[in-house]
Structure 1
């Protein structure tokens, strides 16, 4: 099974479990930016090892937190896209294939984690 098929199924299950319970939460959910697809994909495919949220430590201490990656000096949309497309760059644990639209979604989300006043957690 390709990762993309697994991710679509996993993301659907994960999102179905996150139904808001009040009108206030519904307003917050509907106001989420377009990169929420990238967040859902990251949650399904990457969060087992990486912290994909703006704050938090990765479940796998050897997997860098996404804000650390996103705020790496010199990182651009192009360099991040190229790294994600070139599967031979991945560590062995990350050996999977991403469709072009999945790469774009992940890059879009990861770039939202960039901050001018970012300070690494350690």
Structure 2
């Protein structure tokens, strides 16, 4: 987790320089930076693009899953035993909140899966 925390700090500074796009929810730079540091090795954590690992769903696909709520997403991230073997890591409560908040900014009313 120490390497992730160091990377998050640097990425948060870079993300803070980005400007918001019209019609897109305000992105918390710290949540985006954590997603980049902890998850982007396998998942696409950006609004568009395919995941580096074809078996890892893109975050916009997850965020726009019918029936997904803040509560169900939070529960899934907290319950580490639900993770696939490749995701064998632990998230602190504040990290879960940051990731959930960021992931929910990827919701779009006009969303269409990339495949």
Name the residue aligned to 1:7: 4
- C-alpha deviation, 1:7, in angstroms: 1.6
2:96 maps to 103
Q: Given that residues 15 and 29 in structure 2 are in contact (C-alpha distance below 8 angstroms), is that contact kept between their aligned partners in structure 1?
A: no
Structure 2 matches for 1:1-122, cutoff 5 A?
3=1, 5-15=2-12, 18=14, 26=17, 28=19, 33=26, 35-122=28-115
In angstroms, what is the RMSD of aligned CA positions?
2.2
* Number of residue pairs the alignment of both structures matches: 111
Q: State the shift of 1:27 in Å.
A: 7.5
Larger radius of gyration between Structure 1 and Structure 2? 1
Q: 2:59, 2:27 → 1: CA distance?
A: 18
* Structure 1 pair 13–72 and aligned structure 2 pair: CA distance change class (3 A): same
- Structure 1 unpaired stretches of 5+: 21-25
Structure 2: 5+ residue stretches without partners: none
Q: TM-score, normalised by structure 1?
A: 0.82
Normalised by the length of structure 2, the TM-score is 0.86
Deviation per residue, 1:40-65 (Å, 9 max, x gap): 00000000000000000000000000
1:10-61 deviations in whole A, cap 9, x for unaligned? 2234456x499xxxxx5838xx946211100000000000000000000000
